[in-house]
Structure 1
Amino acid sequence: MSQDAPLRGDDPHAGHDMRRPADDPAATGMDSMQGMDHSTMGHDTGSDASSLSPGPDMETPPPPEAGSGPPRAADAFWGAKAMAASREDLRRSHGDFPVFWFQGDRFETQVRDAKDAYLWDIQGYYGGPTERLWFKSEGEGEWGLSPDDAEVQALYSKAIAPFWDVQAGVRQDIAGPDTTHVVLGIQGLAAYRFEVDAAMFLSHRGDLTARIEAELDQRITQRLILQPRIEANLSAQDIPLLGIGAGLDRIEVGARLRYEVRREFAPYIGVDQSWRIGNGADFARARGQASSGTSFVAGIRFWF
């Protein structure tokens, strides 16, 4: 016996004709596949995907009783009291918990034609997603001297729409004439991602003023950001004691280019241009101040 020939007992198909009969449908299909020109088969990936996989109409519809049960079926098993505590824990752990946030939006030195100056603009809050206690402070002055203008605010904030809060509280001026204001304002994110902060101030002397600020972050790279900014100050009347004119008293526009060394820490440089308008310009000149000016700024922006 040849060494290469397998034993009959080793090969279960030995001696059997494995060819299918001609009338076997499987054989006919295999023959047709062998004779098919595969180069003409459509493999266009842009064809209608709905013909390749079942769509929503092919899925099993939900049973008629789906959604017909009680809205809080778990109460029937565990009790309404136990489930109320569980739902409260779930609500607190998924967003409604107090958070502390603090930001130094502008903390800078300003190089001017006259004496160089400093400026700060900080804000922060403590609270949940819909109710918060805000604090704000800003001021400026010449280096080596006390601030010319400085204020602090304490506000209660309530969400009235997605990205928008209404704020109310008090403002105390801590430089210049002692003045206390009642504050009513709105703060949020407008269309095209403009951050807006607008408020009205009613002083204890009955003077009504307003301030509107808007800024926009234009991301050049993931870390390099250009921020245009505009601020307008208005008054319902002349306030000679504070050197404020009726109508549009002051407008300021600028741009700051910052680099986020970390997301929480970003040095910046920029330029600011301000104008006093109308009677406000007259009050400024009467005090020996310029009615307009350009400042080159450098500072840091931080938050935690």
Structure 2
Amino acid sequence: MSGMDHSTMDMSGMDHSGMDMSGMDHRAMAMPGMQAPADLPADAAPRTPIPAVTEADRAAAFMPLGAGHPAHDKRSNSFWLVDRLEVADTAKSGGWEGLAWIGGDVHRTWLRTEGDVEDGRVEQGNLEVLYGRSVTPWWDLVAGVRQDVGEGPDRTWAAFGVQGLAPYKFEVEATAYIGGSGRTAATLEAEYDTLLTNRLILQWQGEANLYGKSDPARGLG
């Protein structure tokens, strides 16, 4: 049909609904020079083989093992927090409370301190230096020393306890102390954060200090 002028053929009046093409073999209608691809067996290899994975492919897909901050690594980090800092009466009275740690994911050195100032002098305060070891993802065991300063004689205590995140996100610290002359003490502290907004947080805090015997020189009953 290469010599026919198709521009003069008017097929607008033909009824195509009567043409049944369901029995036609469309594979036989291929254009000259074209060959329909034959179906491959199910167990045959693909026509275009998949290239082998190269080292460049692996490098692009996976982060190097030394990157980032792997768990239980040996790199030292630190954290410092001043939780309370109060000044009143033209800087003659106030108080402080803070903590810090330095170390890795498992072993850390902890510093905890708090106290009150009255008339420009430390009325009562303490400093704790503790070694902490992580025993679970949320809890640390701590042990060290505590030094009490302020009115009356200074006291030195051996300290040991536990701290971490309890269920329902309560921050908990429980520490027991043993001092000279048979003195014993314990401190239990719990905190909970209520998020009013993403930036405004209401913190609930409760603390109990217990002593095994009176210490009149420091005003403790």
Fold conserved (TM > 0.5)? yes
Larger Rg: 2
In the alignment, what sits opposite 1:73?
A: none
Of the three residues 125, 139, 146, the one matched with 1:150 is: 125
Structure 2 residue 123 is the aligned partner of structure 1 residue 126 = no
Residues 100, 124 of structure 1: 8 Å contact kept: yes
User: Where in structure 1 do 4 or more consecutive aligned residues deviate above 6 Å?
Assistant: none
In the alignment, what sits opposite 2:139?
A: 164
In the alignment, what sits opposite 1:19?
A: 16
| 1:130-174 deviation line (CA, Å, top 9, x unaligned) | 2111111111021x3311111111111111122111110111123
Q: Root-mean-square deviation (CA), in Å?
A: 3.0
For 1:18 and 1:174, the matched residues in 2 are separated by: 108
Larger RCO (CA within 8 A; separation ≥ 6): 1
Of the three residues 171, 175, 179, the one matched with 1:199 is: 175
Unaligned runs of 5+ in 1: 1-6, 27-85, 246-304
Aligned pairs for 1:266-285 (under 5 A) are none
Letter paired with 2:141: V
Structure 1 residues 166 and 14: CA distance shift in structure 2, 3 A: farther
Q: How many residues align?
A: 172
In the alignment, what sits opposite 2:76?
A: 98
Structure 1 residues 24 and 150: CA distance shift in structure 2, 3 A: same
For 1:190 and 1:232, the matched residues in 2 are separated by: 17
Q: Give how far 1:15 is off.
A: 5.7
Residues 93, 120 of structure 2: 8 Å contact kept: no
Aligned pairs for 1:167-246 (under 5 A) are 167-176=142-151, 177-245=153-221
Letter paired with 1:209: A
In the alignment, what sits opposite 1:80?
A: none
Between the aligned residues of both structures, percent identity stands at 33
For 1:10 and 1:175, the matched residues in 2 are separated by: 110
Residues 110, 119 of structure 1: 8 Å contact kept: no
Higher helix share: 1
Unaligned runs of 5+ in 2: 24-63
Structure 2 residue 86 is the aligned partner of structure 1 residue 108 = yes
Structure 1 residues 18 and 216: CA distance shift in structure 2, 3 A: farther
SS at match of 1:192: coil
